Amino acid sequence: MAKRNEKPRSQPGRPLPVRVEAFLGRLAVQKGYSDATVAAYGRDLDQFDLFLRTRGAGLDDPAAVTRAHVQSFLADLHRRGVKKSSMGRKLSALRTFFHFMAEQGVVAESPLEGLANPRQEKRTPRALNVDQAKALLETPREDDAVTRRDLALAELLYGSGLRISEALDLDVRDVARGAQEVRVLGKGGKERIAPLTHAAREALDRWLAARGELATGESDALFIGVRGGRLQRRQAARIVAELCKRAGLPEAISPHGLRHSFATHLLEAGADMRSVQELLGHARLTTTQRYTHLNLAHLVAVYDKAHPGSGNPKK
């Protein structure tokens, strides 16, 4: 048995408890969860199982897991400086797992019943301004296959507001030449239509014309790496960071930051909240409302600059 002061960590290749494997399979097959979400739930449950084993328990016997186990797990995460957002995600994985166990009659009641998520820190979504976004997409660079791929990816993230997982899950057949929209599979297996801007369409056509230089014939993925396999999230993050660097931006932004920028700029241009919600594929309007404070900041800046009552004298 591991010592009580050891830090439980996910161990790649370690067999998961049979009930956890069954649960993950249900998420993928019956619930339509994305591969990335299923993998994240698997890591979180594996970490909790490792923690339980330092307490003489485990997810191979869910009925023996108590509320005190969960609270101790949260306390351990807090001591190790895990962000509250990450703690909330882990609790979500545990709730979903034990709800499944209750449905199967394995447990009488979830040990998380009535247990609230840690209060989340209020964070401002990072976004580029319009000039920065333009610089990132239009800075002159080499015209080779890799560059065309990188720009096509950035155009989809910013021009169509796709999640990075949605963009990387696309296959070549999903973006027929000349099409003005793309069908994507979002969170929870929900399908939506995302419009393609003229710039995105041009960038995609240019990339498709050069894709054969990297393709090995073994992958149908739209975005592939230099070895021909489907592009991965970490590679995409490095691509966006490099585009930011080449554009001379003071700080790099994540692929999701381009999606934030898409939403922010739409609101600043006067788009209504419901339309932006549909474009982003948000299930709840409250999720989209995170961007309203950015739009408000833009309006306040305009007010301070131009309104006679702002206290700033006209020049």
**Which residue is catalytic, options 187, 192, 206, 230?**
187
Catalytic site residue 83?
no
Residue 44 tokens read as: 């979180």
Contact 159, 181 (CB under 8 A): no
Contacts for 104 with CB less than 8 Å, ≥ 6 apart = none
230 a catalytic residue: no
The set of residues, in sequence order, having a beta carbon less than 8 Å from that of 158 and lying 6+ positions away, is 133, 136, 137, 258, 259, 261, 262
User: How far is residue 9 from each of residues 55, 59, 105, 186, 307, measured CA to CA in Å?
Assistant: 15, 15, 29, 29, 56
Q: Side chain identity at 205, as an amino acid letter?
A: D
The Cα 51–Cα 53 span in angstroms is 5
How large is the angle between the packed helices 84-103 and 35-53, nearest 10 degrees?
A: 90
Q: Is 126 a catalytic residue?
A: no
Determine whether 282 is an active site residue: yes
- Of 19, 149, 211, 259, the catalytic one is 259
Spatial separation of the C-alpha atoms in residues 263 and 259, rounded to whole Å = 6
Find the catalytic residue in 206, 230, 256, 290. 256
* DSSP letter (8 states) at residue 116: P
291 included as an active-site residue: yes
Q: Which residues contact 249 (CB under 8 A, 6 or more apart)?
A: 128, 132, 135, 136
Residue 149: which residues within 8 A CB-CB, separation 6 or more?
A: 207, 210, 211, 214, 223, 224, 231
The answer to whether 69 is a known catalytic residue is no
Residues 90, 148, 149, 163: which is the catalytic one?
163
Contact 184, 236 (CB under 8 A): no
> Known catalytic residues?
163, 187, 256, 259, 282, 291
